[in-house]
Structure formats: structure tokens, C-alpha cells
A and B are shown apart, each in its own frame.
Chain A
Amino acid sequence: MIGEMDSMVLSHYLFTGAVLFALGVVGFVARRNLIIMFLCTEMMFQGVAVSLVAFSRFHLNYTGQTFVIFVLTIAAAEAALALGLVVLLFRRKRTLDAAAWAELRG
């Protein structure tokens, strides 16, 4: 039932993962809303997860799927911390604009 997967098929799945990652990068750089920026990091996690599961299927090795569990763990931790940070920053300046913190550039 579970057979070998073709390399071209793997490339298709990797393509989807790479596009999700690249869109996450673009969004993180281009958007100014702090919440959207962190949403874009979650999207990069999604792209990585797709690639990991595709590799797992390609090599017939379940470690890839296990790593997605760890990616989910990190994503959950990151969401908790990032949203806590966003709430803190919002409380200081009453805005979600990342440019409001441009003074941190130094």
C-alpha cells in the first residue's frame, strides 16, 4: 500500500512548502501590523511542516512527521510569547504599528 514516491512528486510538495515559506518572508517584511507579522512567521512554520512531511513520505521515515510535532510545539510557544509581547507593546503605544517602535533601530 505504501510504495515509493517519485522524486518529481516530492518536488511538487517541496514547491508548495517553499512558496508558503517565501510568502511568509514577504509578509513579515512588508506588513506593518505586529499581529500579521507574527501570523507570517506561523506561515513559514507551515511551509516547513509541509516539506518535512513530504520528506518523511519520500524516505519512508517517520522521523519527519515526529519533527512536525516539535515544530508545532515551537509554534505554540512562539504564539504565546509573541502575542504576550504584542499585548505589552500595544498597551504602551496604543497601536499595532511596527513603525511606532522605529526608535529601537538605534
Chain B
Amino acid sequence: MPARLLTALRLRRPADLPLRFKGLSIIALPLLVLVVSVALSVRVTDQENAYQASTRTALSTSTDVGQTLVSLLNAETGVRGYVATGDPSFLQPWQWAQAKLGLQLRSLASSPAVTAAQRRALARPAATEMALLRSLMRAPRGAGTLVSLRLRRLLVKGKAVMDQLRRTVSVVQEGVQRFLSQRREKVRGLRSTALAIAVAGLSVGLIGVLILYLFMSRIVQRVEAARVNAHRLGIGESLIEVPVSGDEIGRLSAELTHASGLLASRGADLVRAHRAALSTAREKDRFLSELAHEMRTPLTAIAGFGQLLDASDALTSEDAESATLIVRAANHLITLTDEIDASAEGEETLALNREPTRVIDVGEEVCALMGSIAAEKHVSLRLEVDPVVMVWADPQRLSQVLINLVSNAVKYNRVGGEVRIGARPGVTDRVRVFVSDTGIGIRAEVQPRVFAPHDRLDAEAGPVPGTGIGLALSRTYVEAMGGSIGLDSTEGQGPTFWVELPGSEAVVAV
């Protein structure tokens, strides 16, 4: 996996790198600078603390040196005064010095600011001086004025030792001062380094944020372009050009372009198929109407001769029955050719004459026309329409539609059944006119095909006259009037066919 990744990374242009690598590297850069500057500043603070500690030590060493010098001076002065005068009060400073000096010298010798050689130089004269001072205390003295030779020698020697010690201490003091000033310089240097690092870190961080912002807005821009393209794809418009790139968004855009190409070619195929289907349908309609026309001539002869036979008195009763059957079969064929003609006619543009139409008027006309057919089958027609219900429709066409629906409702009804014609308000200013019957109902799987032309649902349900184009024609009429037609049915229960049309304000009769 890492090897593959590396090869992948090496082979690609930056634009083709996956987004997660781009994003990671853009975030990693300022983060790295930030980490480095924090580490450096921690280190600087540490060093500064260390320098400050050693500076404090040097300062206290310097104080120690001063105090040691004072003690030495006090002790020496006290001893000399005592030797010269014999006054024991001069011994008090010596005693103080003796109490403190050992401690002070040890402290001085232990200071890190003092070099080993200096330490040795300090230890030796200090011990010698103490021994000398003790000897001075014990040396014989006169009654105030006479100083023995030995005492004088001791004093001279003591003077030499003191001078050496003082020099050594001064050297130490100078060293400490030098050390202090060096430390001060270093701390100052460290502080400016820390500041420079902080400034550099801040500026790199800011630049990083800026790059990140540009990167993000570029991504947002490209995603937005992809979204726009997806939208255009959805509404079937051509896509806008986007720069080619191999990352995730680039691939998304490429897929969209690909999909758009496919869609375009499918669309062209569909248009071609649609045109072909339309032309086939027109061809079929021409053929059908031609066929209907050609059928009419022989049908006229069959029906005519049949009626002549049927009207004859010279036939046996069996022959008379045959003649009646010929006439009935011919009439069935005539119905079929009429419907075929109506179908071909339905394909032509409909001339509509729409006006405010009272549903009950149309309903009454339909009931009057269908009454005898319904009575033949002992089906009762019930008209349940409020006289105020008006629709915006062509009354002629609405009547044709209702005749068709009622005719079906009677045709597919059981003997002694019922057909109801009703109307009620539909959604948003529309009126729903419905025709329901007590027939066998329509199976759910065939319901969507009910309004398709040339689809008889009852092929297995028994012979019922009709070509099955009536509903398709009704749909054409209703849709031409700006309405819709539909069906609610549960198999086993009679279906309810409905027509929804724009409602109309009642016109007040003058």
C-alpha cells in the first residue's frame, strides 16, 4: 500500500493528487512551523532560566567576595589594634571575623563562578592568614609600647599574605563581573532569537492560513461547479466547462460530463423513437380508417341482405332466426367500424366550444340517451347531481365522455345492477363528475392501461361489443378541456370512473 501510494504520488501532477493529500500537506506546513517555533521558544526559556540562575549565583558570589574582604580587613585591624594597645576590645572584630571567615571562604570556594585555581589560591592564603592571626594573639608584647622583633616579622608577613589574599579576591571579583556581563549578553541574544522565531512562526502560520483559505475556496468553487452541472444534467441542459483534474472532484465532474453525454445520446434516441412511434401511430390510424372504410361496403351488403331476409315472410322459423343472427352480427361489426372511425377522428385536433356548463343538464341528456340500453339490461340509472354544480367544458364533448362512461358502466354491470352519476367539488376549484357501477370491478394491475387505446380488459371476461377505444377517446376529450380522467376501483367492487374539470361560476339566467 505505501509503495503503491508513493508511485501514485510520483506519477501525478499536483492537480491530480487526491484531496486528502493536498489538504493534509496544506495543513501540515503551518502546523510544522508552529511546532518548531514552540519547541524553540521552550528551549530559549530554558536557557534563559539557566542563565538567570547562574547570574544569581555570580551575584551572590560577588557579595560573598565583598563580605570576605570586609571580614579579613576587620580581623586584621582588630588584631593589630590589640597588639599595639593591648586593649581587649579590639579583639571583638577578630572574633566576629573568625566566626564568619571560614564559612565565607568555603562559600566562595564552592561558587561555580570561581575557577579551580582561584579556589586553591583562596584556600591557601586564607588558612595562612588565620594561622598568622592566631600567632599574633599569642605573641609576647610589651606593656603597650615595646614591639618585639618577632612580632614585627609576623606583622610584615601577615601584611604580605593579606595583600595576596586581597589580590586573589579582586581577581575573583573581576572574573565574576566578566561572567555576569557575558551572561547578560547571552540572555539578550536569546531573547532576540526567541522574538525572531515567534515572528517567523506567526508569519508562516498566517501565510499557511491564507493558502488554506485559498485552497478551501477553490474546492468550494469546484464543488459548486459540480453541483451546478448536476442540476443542469437534471434539467437536461448542456454542462458548463470545468478544468480537467484527476482528484476526487475532477473525477466527479468527469462522471457528470460522461453522464451528460450518455443522456444526450439517449435523449436523441428517445426523440427518434418517439418520432418513429408517432409516425407509426399515424400510419396505423390511416390504415384503420382505410380498413373501416373498406369494410363498410361489404358490411352494407351483409346488413342490407340480412335485413331483407329478416323481413321476409317466406322463411322457416329456423331460417328466420338465422337471418336475425346475421343482422345482429352485422350490427356488431357496424359498431366496431364506427368506433374505429371515432378513434381515427380522435387523433385529429379537437375543436372545442367551452362554456359554463351545468353538470345536471348533461347528466339528464345522458340518462335520456342511455335509458333504453340500461333498461334492456335491467340496470337502473341514478343521477345525483346538485343543480348548482357548473363546469367549464364543451357540453357536447362532456356528454360524449359521460355517454361512454355510462355505456361501459351498463355494459360491464351485472343484470339488475345500478349506475350512479354524481358530482362534487374536487381540489382547487375543480369539479369531479363520477360514474360508478355495481359491476365486477377492474383488476389493479390493468388499471393503468384502462385509458390506453385498443386495450380490451375483458378479453377473457366474455364478449361485450366495443373496441376498447372509448376510454382513450374520452381521455383525449377531457384533457383537451383542461381536465383529467381517472378510476378508483377495488376488484370485486364496481369501479368509479371520474372526470375532473375546471369549475365555473354559475351564470345567472336572465
Chains A and B form a bound pair: no
* A positions within 8 Å CB-CB of B: none
